Chain A
């Protein structure tokens, strides 16, 4: 029972047109289906077509599709130079790293050592005779000679049953390990070595024997890494904050329901959204490289990169939150005689602020993760030291940095999930 005759006529016309239109294709297909019983095909062409449809292994499309897929993956395999054998052949290169992961450079022991040194001169000169002193003594079979001489070192009076190291120290104090030694029950040891090739003539041979077990303390690496991690977290904080500060006002321009009504609004909307989308499509790492050129290496470039990227992605999310606002409550509050300020405070803010907070925490989360690698391109943060450690094959230090990243990122992840759950 149409209330108004006007609209009902076109709607009926649409229905009948549709019926005619959809009637044609089944007839056409029914003709093309081989061997279908004519009666059944006429009464229910759709059913027949489905039941008598070409079985899958007879479809040429399947084989064509499979061939195309095969070609794509063969080419992909070649172009990405996949050589699974390398995984096996290169395993020994990465093995130290795997074991380093299990023993990151976090704790060190300050063990007390006993150190005694004896001189050995190159170039004919003889060292002055050492004054006899109480305590442990290190004696060399000779005290002067040339590079390549065989020297025997004997020690006595050291703590019994301890291990230690024999060092060669040159004239300016650079040292290298000669060999590991271990004292016997009487506190003696003996070792033979070859005089190494060094600069200068006045050398020292020193024995350092560990005399006991000292207390554990955090390693210098740990503090370096921790420092950089703090920098990383703050890098993410500043980048996110910059993103929020600019994204909030911009998001209002990018919301259709707000800009739709004002003159020129649709153009502003389109422009804002385009800027968001284009900026978002540039990876933050690329932005970081650009900013290091602009403002120089360091965390500031990272902040700018993260900030710009956050503006774009937060702006888009915020805009969508504004667009999904429920107008019902706003209308209800307008109807109570509330002013614009009151409508915004009680109708709009409660609807968008929790979403804004949730999106911001989500972004902050991404930014923390991202700021761990931004150092690779000189944007500051822990990535910088991580890269150095890896390049210098300092696996235990690299492991420390990796563990730090894993723990901090996981903790942030968890914390933000908890907060987000509370807010939304």
Chain B
């Protein structure tokens, strides 16, 4: 289980306005890890996650996903890489007017012929799978509801079901619980944990609360101003390291 699924070297992102959001970031992720990325707001967590599937174009560096260099992949290859990387968003990013089922099915678009989109066609086998995935995240009864009628926690579970449709080897989760209450946060993170443990899906998840990071992460990577300031096991984050990551005035708060 120690094969590398993702290898990032010297990754740098400079936004057009000159903001250096990532500064020479290098790390590897092994298959099956639950890697939590922490850091202050603006430290570059989202930028890092979005560079991995190239929703953001990196400025410099290489990203190797299962041996493919994401950074230079041409369009069709990029699509093949993307379809194996599920993504879960803080704002869920569901198509609000569409049904839950349709939202889940869109997770499979990378695998089906694009022309099917014209007829809004998905084969019955995929519809069955969408139902199975909704079952898995505990909301099979919501399949035909409009996505925006669901609560935040339910919407995020739809987001996970959508990612599951991709048969992903890797799930990127950008603050997946930042818009949810503590109970809901645990519920959503437990689904991710379950996918990580039983399906062996590698998870890279950015979180705001260190307590959550400690509880769910198998490894923690901390960013500060676009640089890695900590990379290790959750237990290794002591008072001194905490202050190095979050600043001297910070106090750790618990989310129960």
Chain A positions within 8 Å of B, measured between CB atoms, are 1, 3-4, 326, 328-329, 331-339, 341-342, 345-347, 350-351, 354
Complex Cα gap A335–B98 (Å): 18
Q: Label chain A's interface by main secondary structure.
A: helix
- What class of interface size applies to chain B in its complex with A? 35 or more
Q: Establish whether residues B93 and A328, one from each chain, have CB atoms under 8 Å apart when the complex forms.
A: yes
Q: Establish whether residues B93 and A339, one from each chain, have CB atoms under 8 Å apart when the complex forms.
A: no
Pick out which of these stretches binds chain A: B131-139, B186-194, B208-216, B246-254. Answer: B246-254
Residues of A within 8 A of B162 (CB): 332, 336
Residues of B within 8 A of A3 (CB): 40, 42-43, 224-225, 247
Q: Establish whether residues A351 and B95, one from each chain, have CB atoms under 8 Å apart when the complex forms.
A: yes
Q: Establish whether residues A346 and B106, one from each chain, have CB atoms under 8 Å apart when the complex forms.
A: yes
When A339-B79, A341-B117 are in contact, do A331 and B93 touch as well, CB less than 8 Å? yes
Q: Establish whether residues B114 and A339, one from each chain, have CB atoms under 8 Å apart when the complex forms.
A: yes
Q: Is B89 an interface residue (CB 8 A)?
A: yes
Q: Is B31 an interface residue (CB 8 A)?
A: no
Given contacts A333-B95, A336-B83, A336-B107, 18 further A-B contacts (CB under 8 A): A329-B94, A329-B95, A332-B94, A332-B106, A335-B82, A335-B87, A336-B86, A336-B162, A337-B83, A337-B111, A338-B110, A341-B117, A342-B106, A342-B109, A346-B106, A346-B117, A350-B95, A351-B97
Q: Which single member of B42, B89, B97, B250 contacts A332 (CB below 8 Å)?
A: B89
Chain B positions within 8 Å of A, measured between CB atoms, are 40, 42-43, 53, 55, 78-87, 89, 91-98, 102, 106-111, 114-115, 117-118, 120, 159, 162, 165-166, 224-225, 246-250
Shortest Cβ distance from residue B169 to the other chain A in the assembled complex, whole angstroms: 13
Q: Establish whether residues B248 and A326, one from each chain, have CB atoms under 8 Å apart when the complex forms.
A: no
Residues of A within 8 A of B159 (CB): 332
Q: Establish whether residues A333 and B109, one from each chain, have CB atoms under 8 Å apart when the complex forms.
A: yes
Complex Cα gap A333–B166 (Å): 11
Which residue of chain A has its CB nearest to the CB of B79?
Answer: A337
Residues of B within 8 A of A354 (CB): 97
Q: Which single member of B40, B92, B98, B224 contacts A350 (CB below 8 Å)?
A: B98
> Could you list 8 A-B pairs, sorted by A, with CB under 8 Å?
A1-B246, A328-B93, A333-B95, A333-B109, A336-B107, A336-B109, A336-B110, A338-B110
Shortest Cβ distance from residue B103 to the other chain A in the assembled complex, whole angstroms: 8
Q: Establish whether residues A346 and B80, one from each chain, have CB atoms under 8 Å apart when the complex forms.
A: no
Shortest Cβ distance from residue B181 to the other chain A in the assembled complex, whole angstroms: 21
Residues of A within 8 A of B249 (CB): 1
Shortest Cβ distance from residue B107 to the other chain A in the assembled complex, whole angstroms: 5
Residues of B within 8 A of A338 (CB): 79, 106, 109-110, 114
Q: Which single member of A4, A335, A345 contacts B55 (CB below 8 Å)?
A: A335
Q: Establish whether residues A347 and B95, one from each chain, have CB atoms under 8 Å apart when the complex forms.
A: yes
Which residue of chain B has its CB nearest to the CB of A340?
Answer: B114
Complex Cα gap A345–B95 (Å): 11
Which residue of chain A has its CB nearest to the CB of B120?
Answer: A345
Complex Cα gap A374–B93 (Å): 47
Which residue of chain B has its CB nearest to the CB of A347?
Answer: B95
Q: Establish whether residues B93 and A329, one from each chain, have CB atoms under 8 Å apart when the complex forms.
A: yes
Shortest Cβ distance from residue A2 to the other chain B in the assembled complex, whole angstroms: 9
Q: Establish whether residues B250 and A1, one from each chain, have CB atoms under 8 Å apart when the complex forms.
A: yes
When A3-B42, A3-B43, A3-B225 are in contact, do A350 and B97 touch as well, CB less than 8 Å? yes
Residues of A within 8 A of B80 (CB): 337
Q: Identify the interface centre among A326, A336, A339, A342: most chain B CB within 10 Å of its CB.
A: A336
